[in-house]
C-alpha cells in the first residue's frame, strides 16, 4: 500500500521525501480548494532539511496542545534535528508568514509497525510552543467513523495539477464505512482494520503524496490522520486514515 510518507511494499506513504517509487505513489490533496490558516489554525506542516523539495515539505500534522503536534509514525524516518514544524503559513514559499519550531522529542505509538500499518501515530514535542493558537480536540467516540459522514482533510501535499503544491488545501472526503475497504483484498493484506482505520474518498478528491499525518476533521474534532492508500483520488482505492478514537486514551496520556 502506499503510505503517505514511507514506502511499504506497494503501499505509498504520503511523505514528500521525493524518493518514493512510482509503484507507491500516494497522496496530497487532489481535487481540493485553497484553505486559509484562519479556518484551520491547528493545521501544521512538517518540513525536513533532507527533503528534496525546495520548501522542505515532508508531512502534515495537527496541533493538539500548545507544545504537541500529532502526525504519522511513518513520517519519522529522519534524525530529530532535521524536522521543523510550521504553523500559520498557507504558502510554504512565503517564509515571511507563520511561525516555526524545532522538535525536542519524538514519541511513536508503541503499537505501530510497518507490517500492518496500524497505530500510525507520532507525537512531537515542540521546542518553542505555539501559544495563543487554537488546538484541535481528539475524537474519542468510535461511532464518529460512520458511513455517510463527510469529514474534511487538510494538507500541503501534491495536487496532481488540481491546484498549487506546497499550499494549504482542503477537500471533503465522504466516509465510506469500513466494509468498502474491507472488501478490497489488497487493503486487507496491507493491514486495514475497522477498529484502527477510516475509509474515505469516492474518487473526486483525496489526500496525496506529502499529506501523511495531516488532519481529517469532522465536526471540529480530529477524526483521523492521513496514513496510506493506493494512487490518488482513484475511486477503486479510497484513502486510508489512522482512526483517533481507538488510540485516544494512549495519545491523551502523551499530551498530559
Cβ within 8 Å of residue 161, ≥6 positions away: none
Which residue is it, cell 521525493?
18
Pairing verdict, β 33-34 and 215-218: unpaired
Catalytic residue among 120, 145, 178, 211: 120
Where residue 219 falls (left for φ over 0; alpha for ψ -120 to 50; beta otherwise) is: left
d(CA 226, CA 28): 10
C-alpha R_g of the chain: 16
d(CA 213, CA 83): 14
DSSP letters for 211-242: -TT-EEEETTEEEEEEEEESSSSBTTB-EEEE
d(CA 17, CA 211): 11
Catalytic residue among 74, 145, 158, 165: 74
Beta bridge partners of 155: 169
Annotated catalytic, 212?
Answer: yes
Annotated catalytic, 109?
Answer: no
Catalytic residue among 101, 212, 227, 246: 212
Q: Which residues participate in catalysis according to the annotation?
A: 74, 120, 212
Amino acid at each position: 500500500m502506499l503510505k503517505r510518507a514511507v514506502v511499504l511494499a506497494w503501499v505509498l506513504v504520503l511523505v514528500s521525501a521525493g524518493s518514493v517509487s512510482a509503484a507507491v505513489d500516494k497522496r496530497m490533496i487532489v481535487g481540493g480548494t485553497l484553505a486559509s490558516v484562519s479556518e484551520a489554525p491547528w493545521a501544521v506542516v512538517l518540513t525536513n532539511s533532507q527533503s528534496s523539495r525546495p520548501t522542505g515539505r515532508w508531512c502534515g500534522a495537527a496541533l493538539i496542545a500548545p507544545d504537541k503536534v500529532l502526525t504519522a509514525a511513518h513520517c519519522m524516518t529522519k534524525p530529530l534535528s532535521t524536522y521543523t514544524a510550521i504553523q500559520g503559513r498557507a504558502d510554504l514559499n512565503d517564509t515571511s508568514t507563520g511561525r516555526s519550531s524545532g522538535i525536542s522529542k519524538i514519541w511513536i505509538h508503541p503499537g505501530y509497525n510497518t507490517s500492518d500499518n496500524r497505530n500510525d501515530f507520532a507525537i512531537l514535542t515542540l521546542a518553542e510552543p505555539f501559544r495563543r493558537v487554537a488546538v484541535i480536540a481528539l475524537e474519542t467516540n468510535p461511532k464518529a467513523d460512520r458511513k455517510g459522514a463527510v469529514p474534511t482533510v487538510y494538507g500541503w501535499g501534491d495536487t496532481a495539477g488540481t491546484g498549487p503544491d506546497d499550499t494549504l488545501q482542503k477537500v471533503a472526503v465522504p466516509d465510506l464505512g469500513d466494509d468498502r475497504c474491507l472488501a478490497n483484498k489488497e487493503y486487507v493484506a496491507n493491514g486495514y482494520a475497522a477498529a484502527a482505520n477510516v475509509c474515505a474518498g469516492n474518487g473526486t478528491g483525496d489526500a496525496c503524496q506529502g499529506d501523511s499525518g495531516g488532519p481529517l476533521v469532522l465536526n471540529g474534532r480530529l477524526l483521523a490522520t492521513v496514513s496510506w492508500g493506493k494512487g490518488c483520488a482513484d475511486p477503486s482505492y479510497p484513502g486510508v486514515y489512522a482512526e483517533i478514537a481507538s488510540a485516544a486514551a494512549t495519545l491523551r496520556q502523551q499530551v498530559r
